[in-house]
Chains A and B, each alone.
Chain A
């Protein structure tokens, strides 16, 4: 690095700044959507069908005359929260599995890791397709399916971290002092494995949003009228040649959100583990 503010620094920090501001912007708009001066995302205006972007409709209207801008902003509510819930689910199941397996070792570990391996062997989308085919199409089932397919990543990361910590002196000291296993896991192991797991979670948010959008695109998230980005693309994809804004707007929203989470995840990893920056 030549200077503190040279192009190299800019190159590293600019994407992070852009990613953060994009996510804050989209998230903020989604949260406060109902208090913004937006048209209702469900109201159909047959006289305004398929309007191109204009001062009246900034991002145009769809085939039912609904305002695309308010749909994509409200859509952030569904698409981002599907990602958050799925990652939360995977985190809540995967991390305990990983630290219990890593700490207990032996048969407990082997059985838990075999289960994880089985889930990992199934491509996420296949797992989701089978689950939704059985449980029925709905946004809730999309969240569950995406969450389950992500469990292995958390379990493995948490287990790996636990294995390196479980034999360190402070853990052994706690054991000698008669601390219960549950207390050791929660008070000593968990805080120490959390940092790398958070990297997995940030990157996982991107892939969860991507996977959920894919499932909605396949029409598996139930109500097609809901302004969810993947279903918006699905409903309008036949019109891409004549009304390209209908696919470009939701497509861009998904791509930019996923890219932003990936950029933030990479940055977080570099920050927590300077070694990976060099390789």
Chain B
């Protein structure tokens, strides 16, 4: 179990590293060179040469990669050249990352219970109206563009705040300890600020929750239906356990593994959703940062963000593996036997 988890961790790390190297090299092979792309066609040769020298782009690419990785290991990701004040990329990422995590976790807190409920109801009322409505809702959920949904919610709830993390009139200065506004405001005992932060979170979190909720509902439904046909469920029913009891205590835990491994895979969906949701709601997080860095061609910022997201990807994948094994003793034993 332990060994196979480590093997998978290494595999994921190698994949992410390969992705990062490809991005790193591709940026340096930008047609005309990254400096020209950043400064625009009208830049003079001297300006281009200076930027190339400043960023180290005049050195061989393998050397650049080596230097970058050595510095990255020390927490230095260079400067965001095109941002006002040229801040350090690592500082920017550290500042924005909690915003995205807060948004994503809130979205999951909405998506998981709702998706599970919807999927369970659908399975319990298979081929009847509740099932059909649940299927229709989840089809709509995966088809509606997330940015359109965000705008629709803003139209439907005009009184809810539609941009930023907190009222612009207030400052988090002094109480901004973890970067998670809900936690910081509570720790400082500022109830009105907590309310403001929570209200700002509602619409973006609902928007981001839609796609995962729809997918969780689908998988819950189909894995429940599969489990409900199995022998141990029939035994439980024969023993006299009622329908609800079977569904909640016997079938749902049995269906947990596909749902959890799905949640791990949903990370990519969540991230894509975060880019769009953060753009619609001007939410100051990593998704919006990546989008801005990409469209402004701020390459240092872009590659730093890619590196960070890659590391998050590895961590979430590993956590998913461990959770799956936790929920399904068969996986633990099978992998133990294979070692």
Contacts and interface: CB of A to CB of B under 8 A. Distances in A.
Interface in B109-146: 127, 132, 139-140, 142-146
Interface string A65-77: 0000000000000
A117 B17 CA distance: 12
Interface in B184-203: none
Contact of B143 (A134, A210, A217, A237): A210
Contact of A130 (B26, B146, B269): B26
A251 interface: yes
B140 A259 contact: yes
A244 B154 CA distance: 11
Contacts of A131: 26
Contacts of B146: 214
A254 B272 contact: no
Nearest to A134: B30
B155 interface: yes
B279 interface: yes
Interface string B55-73: 0000000000000000000
A217 B147 contact: yes
Interface in B278-312: 279-280, 290-291, 293-295, 297, 299, 302, 306, 309
B145 A214 contact: yes
Contacts of B145: 210, 213-214, 217, 230, 233, 251, 254-255, 258
A129 B143 contact: no
Interface residues of A, number: 43
A241 interface: yes
B147 to A, nearest CB: 5
Given A125-B276, A126-B271, 19 more contacts: A121-B12, A123-B272, A130-B26, A133-B27, A133-B295, A135-B31, A136-B31, A214-B147, A217-B276, A237-B151, A240-B151, A241-B155, A247-B148, A251-B152, A254-B148, A255-B143, A255-B148, A259-B144, A262-B142
Interface of A: 8, 11, 117-118, 121-126, 129-137, 206, 210, 213-214, 217-220, 230, 233, 237, 240-241, 244, 247, 251, 254-255, 258-259, 262-263, 266, 279
Interface of B: 12, 15-16, 18-19, 22-23, 26-27, 29-31, 37, 127, 132, 139-140, 142-148, 151-152, 154-155, 158, 222, 225-226, 268-269, 271-272, 275-276, 279-280, 290-291, 293-295, 297, 299, 302, 306, 309, 313
